[in-house]
Amino acid sequence: MQQLLYIEIPTPQVEDVKTWLQAEYQAPFGKKSVSKHGFILDRQNRSGAIAQLSVFIWTLQRTTYLKVFRWSDEAMDGEQEFLKNLTAAARQAFPYEFKQPPAIASNQSIFEALIQDYPLTVKFFQRIPNGEYDLNRVYWWEKRWRESVKSPETPKDVIFIDREVSPASQDLDYDIVYLGGALGAIHAAMMSKLGYRVCLVERIPFGRMNREWNISRTEFQNLIDFGLFTKEEFAMMITAEYVDGFNKFFDGNNPQHLKSKVLHTPTVLNIAIDTNRLLEICRQKLEQYGAVICDRTEFEKVIISENNAKIFAKNLETNESVEITSRLVIDAMGSASAIAQQLNAGQAFDSVCPTVGAVLEGIDESVWDSQYGDVLFSHGDISRGRQLIWELFPAEEKELTVYLFHYHQVHPDNPGSLLEMYEDFFTILPEYRRCDMDKLVWKKATFGYITGHYSLNEDSKKCAFDRILAIGDAASLQSPLVFTGFGSLVRNLPRLATLLDTALKHNLLKADDLNQISAYQSNIAVTWLFSKGMMVPTGKHLPPERVNSMLNTFFGLLADEPQAVSDRFIKDRLSWLMFNRLALIAAFKNPRLILWIIEMAGTKDLLKWLSSYGAFTRSSLSNAILGGWLPQLMRSCQTWLEPTNPRLWLRLLSWSYAINYSVGKSK
């Protein structure tokens, strides 16, 4: 018995596929006999022997897979012709479909509008506290995301320029206005602690998060050392700390040499943070330092003049207009940011991880030990043009936080759907972790679009405008391969806050000045080619096992390395020598890897990546030659250089940080 064909038929309607195979599909030759899950094809060869092929289907991950096996000892005459015919016919009968969210009538609830297309999503959101509110948020976010990528060449204008010069002495309401209250709250707490008048504008009630956060102790220590939080406050935020984290990708259809061991990462994302407690502590700090929180308030536009920024918003409870003047606007709106889209002509993000999940309780302890987490895990191959990946983290007491996501290239026809992902989540969770869905206790929905941008260098994306600066996912300067959002902010907050403090003290708020305040790292930008290899191009049919083969190649070699290597890789501290050594080992282990990446990324993107690699090489050389002494020398010049030439000082300070940060060092 030999396997001849393995393809995905991208539909969850397995019975329709079976009916088509057995009753409608006509083989180009031979005798077709119906079997339980497909059919048997017999043909008498020219040699006189009877050759036999078995065609069967099965369903997993809410999609359909098909295999063809040769049952006879002798190959069938015209075997390849049949395989090509069957593949072409299946793809014509069941093409990729990219569903649009249904419209919601004025007299409909979100549950009534979605019940027909997303029955399990409606069923289980009805069991989640505040489920109707959260499902409306999912729907709003998907609609907002789709609108932003549908016509990228014509993004909505929300930034306007006032050419009239207002008096420089005009009193302003605030020094900084933050748009977005999740990551923005952490940044705002730091800047208000430094003495700035801060206002935070948030569309939803402050403190509500539709994501949970995980971190390691050494990374969070960054914020403690910088003075934002105390050890006692950090201890209050921790809900769980697991013993080990696992990374494993499905390899049932991989050749033997591409199967891999489990990669253990015990110090990666092993601290579960209670986001409600973290944000409550941020609220207390903001109030302590005199900051103002305007929640349930939606940003509409900002007018930039020579001496201020005027923010226009609407209170969603009273429907009243809100106007705020400020020296600076911080865009922390993440993937929903219209500011980021306008600054980058609709091309602010070119990759995204649509992510859904829940905080839940009730998975049997015999199925999962709460001392362990899944950092990255797959239990099947490509599903409907996506490689689905799970994350599972212990949370408070017996709770677990479970995520399902995939890496995705932004495409106007296929922007990535949270609603489709949620229907997948509720359908296939029992495949991933044996559980009775009706016995689970649902505590909270977790969802969002985690964005990425393939940065050729630190100037390839606009994160600043006069009196406007983007942070977090709105800035999205690199690939979402390992960390974005919370992890990146934690690692970069000391340099971002110090640079911003310098800019504000000297009123250096033009775009050229604010562009010096960046979380760009060339060592992470260079990894985007790897994350590109995890995305199935829209409409393209790949061998279903392809992405898992690539992931097993790389994570398998990390499993053979000392733990410190995988720790550095996943925590954005990858060095040039380490990157090149791992890349060479991977290419030697799987010579086809480069061809696969070229097939998925394309020659044009490969050439773009070479530019990123060049920037990484230059940064590494600068660090090797200058990193040990130049930053300290430049800082010794601060006392006389900053007062005499603050703009030059800001640039030198930014460069001194970049020398080390860009290659994964924090000092």
| Residue with more model confidence, 36 or 170 | 36
Q: Give the tens place of pLDDT for each residue, 574-606.
A: 889 999 999 899 989 898 888 888 888 777 888
What is the pLDDT, as a whole number, of residue 348? 77
Give the start-to-end residue ranges of the domains of the chain: 2-93, 159-347+454-661
End-to-end CA distance of the chain: 59
Distances (CA, A) of 425 to 129, 269, 355: 18, 22, 10
What is the pLDDT, as a whole number, of residue 658? 87
- Report percent pLDDT > 90 for the chain: 68
What is the pLDDT, as a whole number, of residue 482? 41
Confidence of residue 168 (pLDDT cuts 50, 70, 90): low
Confidence of residue 123 (pLDDT cuts 50, 70, 90): very high
Residue 158: both structure tokens together: 């929300």
What is the pLDDT, as a whole number, of residue 183? 86
d(CA 261, CA 554) in angstroms, rounded, equals: 11
- The yes-or-no verdict on residue 169 having pLDDT over 60 is no
Q: Give the tens place of pLDDT for each residue, 248-276.
A: 999 999 988 889 999 999 998 899 999 99
Check: CB of residue 281 under 8 Å from CB of residue 223: no
- The yes-or-no verdict on residue 370 having pLDDT over 70 is yes
Average pLDDT over residues 340-352: 84
d(CA 299, CA 431) in angstroms, rounded, equals: 41
Confidence of residue 666 (pLDDT cuts 50, 70, 90): low
What is the pLDDT, as a whole number, of residue 483? 39
CATH match for 2-93 among 3.40.50.720, 3.65.10.10, 1.10.730.10, 3.30.310.50: 3.30.310.50
Q: Give the tens place of pLDDT for each residue, 53-109.
A: 999 999 999 999 999 999 888 999 999 999 999 999 999 999 999 999 999 999 999
What is the pLDDT, as a whole number, of residue 154? 75
Instruction: Assign domain 159-347+454-661 to its CATH superfamily.
Output: FAD/NAD(P)-binding domain (3.50.50.60)
Three-class secondary structure of residue 593 per DSSP: helix
Check: CB of residue 348 under 8 Å from CB of residue 341: yes
Residue 659: both structure tokens together: 């020398």
Check: CB of residue 495 under 8 Å from CB of residue 547: no
- The yes-or-no verdict on residue 235 having pLDDT over 50 is yes
d(CA 518, CA 539) in angstroms, rounded, equals: 35
Which residues, in sequence order, are CB contacts of 60 under 8 Å at separation 6+?
A: 380, 383, 428, 431
- The yes-or-no verdict on residue 475 having pLDDT over 80 is no
Model pTM above 0.75: yes
